Structure 1
Amino acid sequence: MKAITSRDNPLYKRLKALAGSTHQQRRSAHALLEGFHLASAYLDVAGQPETCLVTEGALRHDEAQAIVSRIDEHRIVTLPDALFGQLSNVVNGVGILLVVEKLAPPLPQRVAQTCVVLDGVQDAGNVGSILRSAAAAGIQQVFCAPGTAYAWSSKVLRSGMGAHFLLEIHEDVEPQTLIERLAVPVVITDSHGAKAIYDCDLSGSLAWVMGNEGAGVSQAWRDAITLRVTIPQPGGMESLNVAAAAAVCLFEQCRQQRGSR
C-alpha cells in the first residue's frame, strides 16, 4: 500500500482542496465518500474506487479491514489520523474515505416512468433525504433543477446513505428541457385547495415536483401541472418539511400501486 506522510503530497493537497469546497466538488469529476456505510454501498453497486484513503488507526478495526480487503491494493493509501482530520467533514469520523468518479448518466430523451424533480430545494439535508426516500421507493430517476443543492456534496452524500448508487441523478436540468421530455403527468403538493393525496389516483407513473423550501414550485412547473395534491394534517401544522412531504407522497404512491396489482 502507498502512504501519505506529508501535507505537501500532491494527492493530499488535491483532496484537501476538494474536501473544503462545494464549488470545487461541482467542478471535479470526482466525489468523496466518507465512512463505512457509504464505502460499502459504493463497493456493492459501482465496483472499485479510484482511491481508498484509510488511517493507520482505522486499520485496527474489523469493519475498516473488511472494506479495505475488497479494494485492489494499488488503490489503497494510508495516512496518519492527523492528516485525515483535515480531509474529513464528519465529527469523530471513522478514518476511511473513497475517491470515486461521479455517476453522470446522459439526460434521457423520454421519461415515461415515475421520477422526482427537485426544483430549487436548497438544503443539502433535504436533498439527501429525498434521494434516500426515492431510492427506497424504487424510483430510478431524479432531476435537479438549477438552484438545487449540489447532489454530490459531502452533506448530501451523507444524508443520502448510499441512495446515489441506486439512482440516476441528473443535475442542472432546466425545467423546459425536462418538461418537453416527460411522458407522465406532473404532480405537486399544494396546501391550498388541492385534493387530498389519499383521494387521488396515484397508481400510474408520475413526475413528482418538489419545490423550494420557501417559495415552492417555480412558475415553469406550475404551468405544467397535471395534478395538485395536499397532505392532510389533522394536527394543524401549516406545512411539512419538503423531505417529509416527499416521503409521504412517494410511499402513498407505493401503497396504491401495491393495491392495484
Structure 2
Amino acid sequence: MRHITSREHPLFKKLFKLQHSARQRHDEGMTLLDGIHLLQSCLASGKTPVLLIVSESGSQHPEISQLLIHIDKDPQKTDCLMLSDTLFNQISPVKTPVGILALIDIPQHTLPADTYQNSFSILLEGIQDPGNLGSMLRSAAAAGVEGVFLSSDCADAWSPKTLRAGMGAHFSLKIHENVDLIQVARQFAGNVVATTLHDASNLFHTDLRGAVVFVFGNEGGGISEELLETVHQRVMIPMPGCTESLNVATAAAICLFEKVRQDTCAGDSHENSMGSR
C-alpha cells in the first residue's frame, strides 16, 4: 500500500480536484465514492475501483479491513493508497468520514437507437438540487427503472452529494447525461407521461401499464413548454391538503410506484384468471 504525506503530491491534487470539481470529473471520466456502502454497491455491480484511498484511522475499522482483504483476493487487484487523517479529511465530502474512498471510472452507456422503447424510463429536465437528483435515482432503482436521461442543465449525477443521496442506486441504472430530452421523448414508442399542475388527469386514474417514460422538471419552473409538447399524457397528484405542490423527488416516487402498483395488480389479475381455467 502506497503512502502520501504531502498535499503537493500530484495524485493527491488530482483526487482533491475530482472531489470538488464537476468539470474535472467530466474531463477525467472519473469520480470518488465515499464510505463503505457506496463501495459495496459498486463491487456488487461487478465494477472494480481504479484505486482505494484509506485513512490511517480508517485502516483500523473492522469493515474496512474486511473489504481490503476481499479486494486483495480479487484477480484484478485494486491499488490502495494510505493517507494521514488530515489529508484524507481534505478530500472526503463528509464531516466525519469513515475512512475509505474509491476512485472509479464513471460508467458510460451508449444511447441505444431504440432509446429503451419498451422499457420503464425517466427524463429529468433541469433538476438542480443534488439531493433531489440522488433521491430520484434511488426511487428509480427501487421501482425497476431501466434508463435515466438527464438534460444538460441537471445537477452532476456523479457528484458527492448526488452519490450519497442515491445510496448506491447509480450502479443499477443506465444513466445518460447531457441528453436531448425532446429527441428521446419523440423516439419513445410507449407512453410519455409528464407531471404538471394544470390541465392534467388524476395520476391514479391514468393507465400506466406497459412501456412508460415519466418526465419530471425543474424544482421551481417545472417542465419546459417545448418538452411538454412532446408528451402523450399530463398527470397530477391529487393533494386534498393545503400544500400547493410536492417536492419533485417526492412526486417522482409517488408516480413511479403508482406504475409499479398497476403493473403488479395487472400481473396478479392475469395469474388469477389463468388459475381459474
TM-score class normalised by the smaller sequence: over 0.9
CA contact (8 A) 1:114 1:184 kept: no
Q: Tell me by how many angstroms 1:74 deviates.
A: 5.3
Q: Tell me by how many angstroms 1:51 deviates.
A: 0.1
Aligned to 1:86: 90
Where 2:108 maps in the other structure, the secondary structure is coil
Query: Following TM superposition, where does structure 1 have runs of at least 4 consecutive aligned residues deviating by more than 3 angstroms?
Result: none
The C-alpha deviation readout for 1:74-113, integer Å capped at 9, x for no partner, is: 5111111001011011111111100000001001111221
CA contact (8 A) 2:182 2:230 kept: no
Tell me the distance in 1 between the aligned counterparts of 2:47 and 2:198.
47
Q: Is 2:43 the counterpart of 1:53?
A: no
Tell me the distance in 2 between the aligned counterparts of 1:141 and 1:232.
27
What amino acid sits opposite 1:29 in the alignment?
G
Q: Is 2:193 the counterpart of 1:212?
A: no
Where 1:46 maps in the other structure, the secondary structure is coil
What amino acid sits opposite 1:50 in the alignment?
V
The C-alpha deviation readout for 1:205-239, integer Å capped at 9, x for no partner, is: 11100001111111222111111111011212100
Aligned to 1:134: 140
Q: In the comparison of the two structures, how many residue pairs are matched? A: 261
Q: Is 2:228 the counterpart of 1:228?
A: no
Question: Identity across aligned pairs (percent)?
Answer: 43
The C-alpha deviation readout for 1:9-40, integer Å capped at 9, x for no partner, is: 22111111211222222222101000111011
CA contact (8 A) 1:2 1:74 kept: no
Tell me the distance in 2 between the aligned counterparts of 1:74 and 1:93.
21
Q: Is 2:265 the counterpart of 1:259?
A: yes
What amino acid sits opposite 1:256 in the alignment?
Q
What amino acid sits opposite 2:200 in the alignment?
A
Change (3 A) 1:74 1:251: closer
Aligned to 1:39: 39
Q: For residues 1-261 of structure 1, what are the structure 2 equivalents within 5 Å?
A: 1-72=1-72, 75-110=79-114, 111-112=116-117, 113-261=119-267
What amino acid sits opposite 1:10 in the alignment?
P
Tell me the distance in 2 between the aligned counterparts of 1:181 and 1:52.
41
Where 1:260 maps in the other structure, the secondary structure is helix
CA contact (8 A) 1:39 1:67 kept: no
Tell me the distance in 1 between the aligned counterparts of 2:16 and 2:164.
18
CA contact (8 A) 2:124 2:149 kept: yes
Deviating more after overlay: 193-202 vs 166-175: 193-202
Tell me the distance in 1 between the aligned counterparts of 2:186 and 2:27.
27
Tell me the distance in 2 between the aligned counterparts of 1:129 and 1:179.
23
TM-score of the pair, normalised by structure 2: 0.91
- Considering only aligned residues, what root-mean-square deviation do their CA atoms show, in Å? 1.2
Structure 2 segments unaligned to the other structure (5+ residues): 268-277
What amino acid sits opposite 2:109 in the alignment?
P
What amino acid sits opposite 1:44 in the alignment?
A
Where 1:53 maps in the other structure, the secondary structure is strand
Tell me the distance in 2 between the aligned counterparts of 1:17 and 1:47.
23
Tell me the distance in 1 between the aligned counterparts of 2:33 and 2:93.
10
TM-score of the pair, normalised by structure 1: 0.96
Where 1:32 maps in the other structure, the secondary structure is strand
What amino acid sits opposite 2:181 in the alignment?
P
Tell me the distance in 2 between the aligned counterparts of 1:57 and 1:193.
57
CA contact (8 A) 2:149 2:181 kept: no
What amino acid sits opposite 1:19 in the alignment?
Q
